[in-house]
Structure 1
Amino acid sequence: MNRTVLFLSLAGGLALTALVLGLPQVTRPRTEPVVEVKTPPPTPPLPVQGTPGSLTMTSRLSHPYVPAGSSEVFATVDLTGAEVPGSKRRPVNLALVIDRSGSMSGYKLAQAKQAARHLVGLLRDEDRLAIVHYGSDVKSLPSAQATPAQRERMLQYVDGIWDDGGTNISAGLSAGRYQLSTAQEGFGVNRLILLSDGQPTEGVTDDEGLTRQVRELRATGITVSAIGVGTDFNEDLMQGFAEYGAGAYGYLEDAGQLAALFQKDLQQASTTVARDVTLTFTLPSGTVLGEVLGYNARQSGNQVMVSLPNFSAGQLERVVVRLSTTGDAVGQTVRVTDLTLNYTDLIRNVGVENGAALSAVVTDRQEEVVARQDKDATVYAVRARSAQNLQKAAEALREGRRDEAKGYIQQNQVMFKEASTVASPAAVASDLAEQQATLDEYESAGSEEEVRSATKKSKVKALRGFGKVGSTY
């Protein structure tokens, strides 16, 4: 490791240590003893749980106690889709959009066709499916109800898919949108599943234009799941499709696992309990947004809005936000942020709005700040911060800066070890094991193929670290 990278890694490690243990901090006299406070401190604010609907919201602060002055804290919000035991799954209107460009020839296309056959076999009479395949051009089997006769027709159509041409993703998206629109009004769930193994080479090829297409799909009520196969596709673009399309993202190095992923996406789509999900942070005077970690957010005045995917039964997604809050007087309860969750409850077919608030107590006792630190919120915050480093590490590895990439992972190890002193070693044992596995993979990645694979795996781990648990396959 060169001296500059080593210095940056050590400096970053020290700063991250301060994040976990010394956040927030007050200055303690070195020679005077700590004065015993006879008056008991206020009761710490408890984690806040929103009113249950088809989504349950649980929120907490990393530091329910803060020193006077300005402090950096993390707010974490968990959203969970309701379980509906014994309920019949919801009929779905699907469009399966398959890349059959030249790079898919052979094993990958054979596995994609086998996965498509498996998906057809899972459909029920009340479901609909359109099959679209694209290369330089696009061809479609029109959307049809999945009756036994139509399922047989679908299987025959899949058998006739061949590899040819470039990668015209935009044409595939457009065709899938049209096919879904023919029956969209009759379904509560309309989903496009996009499969690709390469970069867009024809039609609309720029990321902005393709992302705009996906946004338009979502605006019409269609969700988009994006599945990348192999190591040649643009993972940032496909991840963006899933986020802006309110669906899921999956990465498969081996196309042989496609059938299981198609089945998982069908299960998620057919058990959808909430859609049009938006989480809004309202920042009172004295609170400033640092960042929303891992999500695209929109800020308007003192409101920060985060759009989330559609939720299936039992699905968990987490949002972590870094905030700066200010408290003046000891004993004061400071309102850190208000939360508003808006969504369409598909169990009751109604719009829902839930609210919650997160507050902290100002104290002059640093030991109280440390003792009352929320263990779960601290671990969640460190996972999200480590995910940022993991993204940076993946880019550095891709560009050949291997020592820098390893330095980011080593910073993560420092963070998790320090977090273990707040929570427990067991609470972060799996995180530390995952960081070591990533470090070992970076060390052993020799070929260009292995580097691309390690890069994509790291970015999937980063998504989960940010809290995109249920929407990352």
Structure 2
Amino acid sequence: MRLQDSPRGASLLLLAAVLLSSTALAQEPEVPDWAEGWKQTWLEAYKNGSLQLSAKVNPRYLGNGPQELLAVLELRAPNFPPGEHPPASVALIIDHSASTAGRHLLIARRAALDVMDGLKDSEHLAIISVSDKPRVLHVAPLTPENRQKMRTYVSQLQAEGRSDLSAGIDAANAELASPSEANFYKQVIILSDGRPTDGMVDQDGLAELARVAREESSIHTNTVAVGNDADIDLMAGIAKQGWGFAATLNDSSATERVAKRQQLDLVRRAANAVELRVRAGPTVTLVDVMGAEATIKGNLARISVGEIGPGETIPIVLHLSTDNVGKQVRPIDLARVELTYEDALVEKRRTQNLTVEAELNPAQARGRGSLNVEALRAGALAYVKEHTAHADEAAEDGDQLTAKELLDSTRENVKQMGALARLEITDALALLNERSSQILQQARPPPKPDPLGDKKKKSSKLQKKKKR
């Protein structure tokens, strides 16, 4: 008698089917209710991660001898509905005390304007400027008239006086605790070097203000530490108690990310705590990182991105130089990249590694065929954004000559990048022309003197704006 013909055999077959079915169910993850509408996207993220890292290099082929390259790292998140969220009511605290004179205040003003530009007309905004005592532009909907009034006010802020940061925080919390803001998602964003001189000056006390505002008025406090000499610990301590993000800004070319982080605080994100670590190859020098805040030490770079939202693509450009010798065609390791992040879709810590390569091939290294046009276009734009920002900072420090020299050298370098593909860098050249006119023609009021006579030393006009 065959096994399937017996009652016992039928039972065994049924048991085996149940076990196989259970195993299949165990392998198939349970999709959360909020992802039912985009189940396949969520399952792919569950399997492969919510971020994908890739790289493009220009030029693709290397010749013998010294050569410069642009490697474009690309972080890409899947597209999915961000979820419903209430409109935002934001209070921007801008420290314009005498210690922020020059590039620090330029960075803070630009970040504030970027946040303002990202808000909808139906959302609310208050501006609190901090020096000896806070001055308040009261919370109001961003009608065209109010938006222009606030933009003008922020653009004309000058560095003066001392810094009473605690009074500014109290004023911001009072604005957002108003009954008129009850149906809004309430956010405070502090733009400061984190070095208050008056009022409450200790980290624990300032953090306590943020905690009380969160618990009593549902206000989330975010901080942006401006400048290489900012007190990052103090600013991060405030953000931790305020359940907000803590960012650093050392370069006015990266201010747009602050506005993006403000927006991502309201929606479902793809990833949190995103960070890249880059190690240049043995025959490679890491010259610069463009498009994101980076800490560079020798041939190592740490790039903190923060949060990434649905459908977002972030390009980060590595400026590299290399010196290779040989006729044998072979791959050259330009950099090894480690991506780490918290996958916000599956609540899991993830790591991804990538080796960035180009081919040593002297026979192919000449001519247009060696170009990676996409990498060239992205790299040229990033180069213009960063170096025009440096020129703007020099002009803000009162050094028009250095600003002009930086703009002229940027123009020459961009032309060299596009020597074989000029049409591919037209966007970069157009941006350079626009920014050059703005930087050289803008009237800049001189900063008022610091009554303490204790201004922070300004960094060299030509110095890179990143920690090394």
Bin for the TM-score computed over the shorter chain: 0.5 to 0.7
Shift of residue 171, structure 1, vs aligned partner: 5.6
1:256-267 → structure 2 map (5 Å cutoff): 265-267=262-264
Pick from 319, 323, 328: which aligns with 2:320? 323
CA RMSD of aligned residues (A): 5.1
Shift of residue 308, structure 1, vs aligned partner: 1.6
1:298-317 → structure 2 map (5 Å cutoff): 298-299=296-297, 303-317=300-314
- The reply to whether residue 277 of structure 1 matches residue 274 of structure 2 is yes
Instruction: Please list every run of 5 or more consecutive structure 2 residues that lacks an aligned counterpart in the other structure.
Output: 1-46, 94-126, 144-163, 189-195, 448-464
Identity %: 15
Which secondary structure state, in structure 2, belongs to the residue aligned with residue 270 of structure 1? coil
Pick from 180, 184, 208: which aligns with 1:178? 208
- Distance in 1 (CA, whole Å) between partners of 2:434 and 2:236 is 36
Deviations 1:373-397 (A, max 9, x none): 2112223333333344323322332
2:380 maps to 382
Residues 173/269 of structure 1: CA separation in 2 closer, same or farther (3 Å cut): farther
- The reply to whether residue 291 of structure 1 matches residue 288 of structure 2 is yes
2:34 maps to none
1:224 maps to 246
Q: Residues 191 and 224 of structure 1 are in contact (CA less than 8 Å); yes or no, is this contact kept in structure 2?
A: no
Q: Residues 95 and 176 of structure 1 are in contact (CA less than 8 Å); yes or no, is this contact kept in structure 2?
A: no
Provide the TM-score with structure 1 as the length reference: 0.55
Which secondary structure state, in structure 2, belongs to the residue aligned with residue 313 of structure 1? coil
- Distance in 2 (CA, whole Å) between partners of 1:214 and 1:104 is 20
Give 1:291's aligned amino acid. D
1:249 maps to 258
- Distance in 2 (CA, whole Å) between partners of 1:136 and 1:87 is 35
- Distance in 1 (CA, whole Å) between partners of 2:86 and 2:338 is 27
Deviations 1:178-227 (A, max 9, x none): 36657999xxx99524599xx9xxxxxx973533323445778741369x
- Distance in 2 (CA, whole Å) between partners of 1:319 and 1:353 is 18
Give 2:278's aligned amino acid. F
- The reply to whether residue 151 of structure 1 matches residue 182 of structure 2 is yes
Residues 422/167 of structure 1: CA separation in 2 closer, same or farther (3 Å cut): farther
Give 1:354's aligned amino acid. Q
Pick from 105, 115, 139: which aligns with 1:113? 139
Give 1:391's aligned amino acid. A
1:27-38 → structure 2 map (5 Å cutoff): none
Between the two proteins, the alignment pairs up a number of residues equal to 335
Q: Residues 99 and 135 of structure 1 are in contact (CA less than 8 Å); yes or no, is this contact kept in structure 2?
A: no
Pick from 413, 417, 431: which aligns with 1:434? 431
1:372 maps to 370
Shift of residue 173, structure 1, vs aligned partner: 7.9
Provide the TM-score with structure 2 as the length reference: 0.55
Shift of residue 63, structure 1, vs aligned partner: 1.9
Residues 320/366 of structure 1: CA separation in 2 closer, same or farther (3 Å cut): same
- The reply to whether residue 444 of structure 1 matches residue 453 of structure 2 is no
Which secondary structure state, in structure 1, belongs to the residue aligned with residue 81 of structure 2? coil
Give 1:80's aligned amino acid. R
Residues 102/386 of structure 1: CA separation in 2 closer, same or farther (3 Å cut): closer
- Distance in 1 (CA, whole Å) between partners of 2:337 and 2:309 is 22
Q: Residues 224 and 248 of structure 1 are in contact (CA less than 8 Å); yes or no, is this contact kept in structure 2?
A: no
1:66 maps to 62
Residues 434/422 of structure 1: CA separation in 2 closer, same or farther (3 Å cut): same
Pick from 49, 70, 91: which aligns with 1:53? 49
- Distance in 2 (CA, whole Å) between partners of 1:356 and 1:370 is 27
Residues 212/419 of structure 1: CA separation in 2 closer, same or farther (3 Å cut): same
Give 2:170's aligned amino acid. K
1:213 maps to 234
Pick from 122, 128, 134: which aligns with 1:99? 128
Larger Rg: 2
Give 2:435's aligned amino acid. T
Residues 341/89 of structure 1: CA separation in 2 closer, same or farther (3 Å cut): farther
Shift of residue 92, structure 1, vs aligned partner: 11
